[in-house]
Amino acid sequence: MNIQDKKLKVARLSIFSNTFLTLGKLWVGLVMGSVGVISEAIHSGLDLVASLVAFMAVRQSGKPADKKHPYGHGKFENLAGIIEALLILAAAIGILYQAIEKLLQGGGEVHSLGLGAVVMGISAVVNFVISQRLMKVGAETESPALIADGWHLRTDVYTSLGVFVGLGAIKLTGYTPLDPIIAIGVSLLIVKAAFDLIKDSIGSMLDTRLPQHEEEMIKKVLSRYSDQFLEYHGLRSRKAGPHRHVDLHLVVPRHIPVGAAHILCDQIEAEIKANMPGVEVLIHCEPCESLEQPGEIFCTRPGCGKDLTECPKGRCPIENKNNGTGKEPGSRG
């Protein structure tokens, strides 16, 4: 099974489980007259919508790059993460409104506490298993949509446990205002999950650079080839869904053949991809600065002026002299 099929399979599993739990919680909540259980049904309903969004985003992001989307479709997953976060934020507001209204009315009457406790217990177990699977596959495939869906269900696990404990407390104490109080707690947890998801997804939508440890890995690869080029600059990186994009400028001695420079770039790209599967690397190769005079080509790097036809292959002699200055070898800017 390839990566795309694996992602779609776990997304379908999430849709099936959320459909089952939403209908079950809604029926039990209406029978009991419990705003806490009904709030959980609303939460699961929005989890179902989020699962559908995640499924569509995963299916879309798996399409290859085309003329309209030359960098691929990876950001559909980041967009899905934002949509999912906004959905659960809307749910939190609705739950909070209903809970406060019922709390002001004294809590109301709650029936069939045992049935509610059974449903909440089943919901917590099912969602824990499915969320574990979503997060595992999401981490393996670096899918923001699946990770967001997993966090939705993990939040449902915690809130279901909260309602479960609350129903038990009502059974023991008879204090029905605990039901809307628990619902308020549920809504606050949902709000936190929503803002965390929005923060992560917006970072990728705005082309935030790759994490520092990933850029350091790229620089280490470049350093292993530093004896074959003069310097690099303009290193840029970004992430779109599970896909990464890296580009940079590589300065090589002017006299080396185009074919040799191309082979060098291919070697660097291959090693970066080996350390970061799925990354797209673009290297712009450019010659070192020079000044042409009749019959000669001179380097214009400060302190040099060397005839480039005599310049040794590999690192520039001037660059070698600067290695002790604290400047990072092979880079500038």
Q: In terms of DSSP bridges, do strands 296-299 and 290-293 run parallel, antiparallel, or are they unpaired?
A: antiparallel
Q: What is the average per-residue pLDDT within 13-18?
A: 86
Q: Where are the alpha helices (DSSP H) in 276-330?
A: 317-321
The whole-number pLDDT of residue 322 equals 41
The yes-or-no verdict on residue 323 having pLDDT over 70 is no
Domains and CATH numbers, the chain: 3-205 (1.20.1510.10), 212-325 (3.30.70.1350)
Ramachandran area for residue 207 (φ above 0: left; ψ -120 to 50: alpha; else beta)? left
Do 230 and 251 touch, CB atoms closer than 8 A? yes
Contact residues for 171 (Cβ-Cβ < 8 A; gap 6+): 113, 114, 117
- What DSSP line would sit under 191-258, residue for residue? HHHHHHHHHHHHHHHTTPPPPHHHHHHHHHHHHTTGGG-SEEEEEEEEEETTEEEEEEEEEE-TTS-H
Residue of higher predicted confidence among 316 and 329: 316
Contact residues for 19 (Cβ-Cβ < 8 A; gap 6+): 48
Ramachandran area for residue 107 (φ above 0: left; ψ -120 to 50: alpha; else beta)? left
- Specify which of 24-38, 201-215, 247-261 reaches the highest per-range mean pLDDT: 247-261
Distance of CA 13 to the CA centre of its chain: 21
Mutual orientation of helices 144-173 and 113-141 as an angle, nearest 10°?
160
User: What percent of the chain is predicted at pLDDT more than 70?
Assistant: 75
Q: What is the average per-residue pLDDT within 132-143?
A: 82
Distance CA 137, CA 128 (A): 14
The yes-or-no verdict on residue 166 having pLDDT over 80 is no
Residue of higher predicted confidence among 259 and 62: 259
- Band the pLDDT of 320: cuts 50, 70, 90: very low
The yes-or-no verdict on residue 174 having pLDDT over 80 is no
Question: Helix, strand or coil for residue 125?
Answer: helix
- Band the pLDDT of 114: cuts 50, 70, 90: low
Distance CA 24, CA 7 (A): 26
Contact residues for 179 (Cβ-Cβ < 8 A; gap 6+): 34, 35, 36, 102, 107, 108, 110, 166, 167, 170
pTM given for the model:
0.56
The whole-number pLDDT of residue 85 equals 77
Do 170 and 179 touch, CB atoms closer than 8 A? yes
